[in-house]
């Protein structure tokens, strides 16, 4: 990984962690607002939290792209595919 790739990865990690922090803050506010409004026994996770579900799905997709399908994974897959296609030419 060269300097530019490392810098881009750090930038992407920073953005991802900021999004997770904001998600946590907003979820905390929404859930505790619902608890104080309706009480503990009438609390429902699905009441008014459709935005949080969508936001959570987006964060999950970003996390998969950032942590599982990073540059090292891409490099390994490219090398694997190149090894597969190294067949001798037949004339």
- List pLDDT tens digits, range 60-82: 999 998 888 877 777 787 778 77
H/E stretch holding 82 reads helix 71-84
- List pLDDT tens digits, range 23-49: 999 888 887 877 777 766 665 656 667
Write out the two tokens for 87.
């067949």
Domain coordinates in residue numbering, the chain: 3-84
pTM to 2 decimal places: 0.67
């Amino acid at each position: 990984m060269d300097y530019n790739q490392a810098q881009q990865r750090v930038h992407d990690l920073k953005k991802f962690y900021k999004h997770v922090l904001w998600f946590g803050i907003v979820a905390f506010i929404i859930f505790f607002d619902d608890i104080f409004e309706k009480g503990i026994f009438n609390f429902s996770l699905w009441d008014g939290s459709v935005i949080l579900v969508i936001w959570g799905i987006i964060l999950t997709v970003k996390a998969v792209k950032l942590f599982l399908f990073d540059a090292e994974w891409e490099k390994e897959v490219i090398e694997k595919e190149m090894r597969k296609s190294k067949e001798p030419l037949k004339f």
